[in-house]
Amino acid sequence: MAALSGGTAGLLDQLITKKFSVPATYRNLLWKLLLGIVPVHIDSHQFVMVQRHKEYNDLIHALQVMRIIDLHTTKPQTFLAMWLLQTGKLKYDTNIQIEHGFVVIAQTLLQLFEDDTDVYWMAKGFYGIVEQFKPDIPKLEVGMLNSTPLNTWFEYCFAGIINETALAKIWDKLCGGGLLAKYVQIVLVVSAYWLVSILTVFINKTLLSTINLEAPLFITWYQCLTTVFICSIMKILHQYFPNSIQFPESQPFNTSVIKRVLPLSIMFTCMIATNNLCLKYVSVAFYYIGRSLTTTFNVIFTYMILGEKTSNKCIAFCILIIFGFFMGVDQENLAGSLSVSGTIFGIFGSLSLSLYSIYTKRILPHVNGEVWFSNNFTNKSNFSINS
């Protein structure tokens, strides 16, 4: 199982996208991997599934409080109500007893797997795939296909149309067929992040040193304002192009959530401010040396705050990073260009970035796992703090 969960893309391609079918023993694990329910790192599976289970129970409790479900509500109908609530589509007069594609998919999954939490998250994943190809269904309705109930078949993802054995093999292809596209998307996102990050560093350095703009906090304020503007544009575009651009429609924030997220906003402000102050006093090359301790702080605070241990190899590499940091400081000192203030701000920048990352991980379950919500609220708070 460890080999399958953390194995190579080539193995998954052979199992799913070619002539092979997924062995029934590993189907639960692989579907959760490919549908994004758990990460590829097996060491994180237990923690992630605990969070999934907590969110599952929170959704059921909320529906019971709202009297949407009761003891007589079937599991598939309960899962439908949970999905509607989580996606912001649940209305007071919503009838969850109607025949819905999500319900039929959940019924089939309940026959394949025993764990209700797994079934709900898989049903959500498969129905997400259904919603992606819904706009293409009219293109198929030509000639003889006009007389076939294509909308129903695709709405149900063929659940209830063919037997479970054949259906499981089709779903193997369905959730794995986009594996290459997922890898390409990840590569593009990471590359875009690197490009934007490096450009931001050079622009900030130009503003703070070359132009000598004595306003690092103003730059922080403007960056937060830009992010809020981008989030607002994304929300508007989602209203006009809901199938192409994804942005959460409902706001999960209340007084309790705001209290939890506000410290995250303060950490974010400290992170950006210390980064800009570090850039003001040091070169771009030494800036990355000054910020190199982030990984080390991540390991320390992950253990102290989340209680998660790391491997001995990782600890050894952290020691190597610390050695490299002091070597960089020593060489900068020998060159006569060492800035103590810049070095201190770099260390605090690494510290605040590490804390921000860890607390983001803790906050996400309280905002329905919506990164856009967290970023939008954090930047709005920072904009207010720096105003």
Look at residue 369 and tell me whether its pLDDT is greater than 50: yes
322-329 long-range Cβ contacts below 8 angstroms, 24+ apart:
322/293, 322/296, 324/289, 324/292, 325/289, 325/290, 325/292, 325/293, 328/286, 328/289, 328/292, 329/289
| Per-residue pLDDT tens digits for 233-268 | 888 887 887 767 777 765 555 677 777 777 888 888
* More confidently predicted of 341 and 244: 341
Please answer whether residues 37 and 122 qualify as being in contact, where contact means their C-beta atoms are separated by less than 8 angstroms.
Answer: yes
* More confidently predicted of 214 and 171: 171
Most confident of 11-20, 205-214, 229-238: 229-238
Residue linked to tokens 């997400």: 128
The pLDDT confidence band at residue 10, using thresholds 50, 70 and 90, is: very low
What backbone torsions phi and psi does residue 250 show, to the nearest 5 degrees?
-105, 155
Looking at the chain, the whole-number percentage of residues with pLDDT higher than 90 is 7
How much is the average pLDDT of 189-215? Answer: 78
Amino acid at 106: A
The pLDDT confidence band at residue 196, using thresholds 50, 70 and 90, is: confident
Averaged pLDDT of the chain: 78
Q: Is the pTM of this model over 0.85?
A: no
